[in-house]
Amino acid sequence: MKIIIFIIFFISNLAHSNAITPSDFIQNIINECKPALVKENNSFLEETMEKYIDFNEIATWIAGKKIWKDSSEKQRELFINELKKIMLKTYSKTIYYYVDADVEFITPKSKKIDNNIYNTRTQISSIMKKNNKNVTIMYRLIKNNDSWLVFDVIIEGISILKSLKTQYSEIIRLQGINEAIKKIKIANES
């Protein structure tokens, strides 16, 4: 599970248009980001998360559409900020460990529409190879305007989105989003 965020953080400073396939998008990002990640720069990872992960989609899925819709802008902002911190804290060491791994992409599951333009959601499968070990990774992307954003990464069958939902959705449902924010904040400070 710790490899999950490594993949997500590869989504950095790359302009994207509808003409590029999702797998090419991720491969270009990996090629561009490797030099920066080798330096183990957490601020780079934070910037990357901010630009290329759809935290609103993740938060909506974790909290549930109704609760998310009923939450104030301040609650949403605090929840998303704490999610970013917990993800960075939890996965940064693994991200740096796997930065030099080889990645092989498998054909995306989405269907092509009109000359390589994909649906609004797609899933890209890949195999990450390091030290004679293969790890299967699936990237779930959502189209936001003309660019792709990551909203889930599944490594060896473990979904970051489902893991976060398992940890926090019941707290949100039973005790409210403010209590979930407090619990994530405590975890971030420990």
What are the tens digits of pLDDT across the range 171-190?
A: 999 999 999 999 999 998 98
Beta bridge partners of residue 155, listed in sequence order: 137, 158
**Residue at 7: amino acid letter:** I
Please give the structure tokens belonging to residue 143: 């189209």
Highest CATH level, class, for 4-189: alpha beta
The Cα–Cα gap between 134 and 140 comes to 19
C-alpha distance from residue 74 to each of 43, 52, 68 (Å): 23, 22, 12
Model confidence band, residue 92 (pLDDT cutoffs 50, 70, 90) = low
Model confidence band, residue 116 (pLDDT cutoffs 50, 70, 90) = very low
DSSP code, position 72: -
Across 128-151, b (16+ Cβ under 10 Å) vs e yields: beeeeeebebbbbbebeeebbbbb
Model confidence band, residue 71 (pLDDT cutoffs 50, 70, 90) = very high
Beta bridge partners of residue 159, listed in sequence order: 154
pLDDT of residue 122: 79
The Cα–Cα gap between 2 and 95 comes to 8
Does residue 149 carry a pLDDT above 80?
Answer: yes
Across 46-82, b (16+ Cβ under 10 Å) vs e yields: bebbeebbbbebbbbbbbeeebbeebeeebbebbbeb
Q: How many C-beta atoms lie closer than 10 Å to residue 188's C-beta? A: 16
**3-state SS, residue 179:** helix
